[in-house]
Amino acid sequence: MAEIATGLQERKTGKELYSYQKGAIDKIFEKFDTEREDYHLLYQLPTGGGKTVIFSEMVRQYLKNHKKKVLVMTHRVELCRQTSEMLTGFGVQNKVVDSKANLDDQNQYDCFVAMVETLNNRLNDDKLDISDIGLVIIDEAHYNSFTKLFKFFNKSFILGVTATPLSSNKDLPMKNNYDELIVGETIESLIQNEFLARAEVFQYDMGLTSLEIGSNGDYTVKSSEDLYCSPAMLEKLLNAYEKHSKGKKTLIFNNGINTSINVYHTFNAAGLPIMHLDNTATKKQRAQILKWFKETPNAILTSVSILTTGFDEPTIDTIILNRATKSLTLYYQMIGRGSRILNNKSKFTVIDLGNNNHRFGPWGADLDWQTIFKSPNFYMDRIQDDETIESNFRHEMPDEIKAEFSKSEELYFDIKNVYRTATSNGESSKVVLERSIKQHAKICVENSEDVYDALALAKLLKDDIDQRIQTYAKCISRSTFNFLHWLKDDYKKKLNAYLRQNFDQVFEEIHGYPPEE
């Protein structure tokens, strides 16, 4: 072992390992001692659980007890730098192998930290000696970019660490590259033991069937921006922020730079303190924006996915998912940015504008990671598509519309249930809309003094009518644009006609006396 690696007995960092972290290290070293030298082990631990602390202490102990070297791989420059700093804090002097690194002194180091693409170039150019690497650690191991380097380390023990042991590419499952998974502490356990904050989720039922799936298996930026850049969606986002997060430090995730820029202009026009960050920003601009975000109590930062990994800001109070994703990993990464504890912070807010909670379940749910690791396609195939998710939505009127119908005890009408009952009784499907019209008429009359009031209230039901027609059309499997347009128009005409013809009768049935002349 080189001279520079001496004196590793004591950690220089002030970080003390928790019992679950020490337990994880013991389990991993047990595998290292009992399995073959080229064993591939995967370790799962939630975001915020201290994966970097664990493997930094592992490197320290490994170099103390073995006469071989260590290589740590990351997939981003920021993670490379942060990992190097953490290792240094643990008393491990290390060499960062980036595009500018001079490797003439590589023999003086026993630990290297490298970004995957740079390392690939250096290895193909035969610029880095890896003949004595005994342990390879891969951070964020679910990214597939690392697997092309495995061929260089056929005599090394490989340890992959990740919060979500589910490959970013369903055609390249992690079980094909790792022999075994060790599951660490659960999110719920970390919350109960006050290592992470609890998420309070506000989810909005969103219509996402216009979104398209790209070759990577996730929603395309183009279709996402067409939806999320619309005035209606920007207004919904702003209203959600003002209702659940006004004055709180907020991080907004978007799918696309144009969406984030539109979010910035919308919030800025509303007089709110907001900045935008994407991967086109220079290092200086990025540092300035993140400094402002850290130091400003009510700051809002709108971004594209560049802050999902390697970004820790415990002062965040709210995460807004202003996007949908098909990636369980991305879902957990985004929400995890708000889970860091700080002082008296025991919970944080999540506003979901992408049906992600419906798609994957609550963040921190007790997922069976072993089954997901062994049978990833089985898990992914069970995730509901958008049409199925939306078919279970219960449409709720906006609060301002509800206020106009305050005298009615029940505003909701279950089209699907009424349809099932009618068809099972041998009735025509047309009776569903007839009963819906009567219920709409009833709530209009309940909140009116005369027929003119009722007709005015009927105009406020446009969105509710549209939602009922959409649901009815799915029930009867007819959803062409022209048919829906005709059906909505016909419904409104029949509702108005019913109110004009039956207002007095319905009013007397409700109140027990006729309306005043």
In the block, tokens 């092309």 appear at 148
What is the model's pLDDT at position 425?
95
Residues 267, 300 contacting (CB under 8 angstroms): yes
Q: How far is CA 352 from the centre of its chain?
A: 8
Cβ count near 176 (within 10 Å):
10
Residues 244, 203 contacting (CB under 8 angstroms): no
Tell which residue, 437, 410, 411, 422, has the closest CA to residue 475: 422
Residue 391 to residue 431: CA distance in whole angstroms: 20
Per-residue confidence in pLDDT tens, the chain, 517 aa: 333 333 333 444 446 789 999 999 999 999 999 999 999 999 999 988 889 999 999 999 999 999 899 999 988 777 888 899 999 999 999 988 887 878 888 888 999 998 888 888 888 888 888 889 999 999 988 887 888 888 889 899 999 999 999 887 778 889 999 999 999 999 999 999 999 999 999 999 998 988 999 988 899 999 999 999 999 999 999 999 999 999 999 999 999 999 999 999 999 999 999 999 998 888 899 889 999 999 999 999 999 977 766 677 889 999 999 999 999 989 999 999 999 888 778 999 999 999 999 999 999 888 899 999 999 888 888 888 888 888 788 778 888 999 999 999 999 999 999 999 999 999 999 999 999 999 999 999 999 999 999 999 999 999 899 989 988 998 998 878 899 999 999 999 999 999 999 999 999 999 999 988 6
What pTM was estimated for this model as a whole? 0.80
Residues 249, 317 contacting (CB under 8 angstroms): yes
Tell which residue, 326, 151, 317, has the closest CA to residue 223: 326
Q: First vs last Cα of the chain: how many Å apart?
A: 101
Residue 389 to residue 382: CA distance in whole angstroms: 12
What is the model's pLDDT at position 121?
85
What is the bridge-based pairing of β-strands 347-352 and 198-203?
A: parallel
Question: Could you give the C-alpha distances from 175 to 144, 160, 357, 426, in angstroms and in order?
Answer: 12, 12, 26, 52
Residue 339 to residue 363: CA distance in whole angstroms: 10
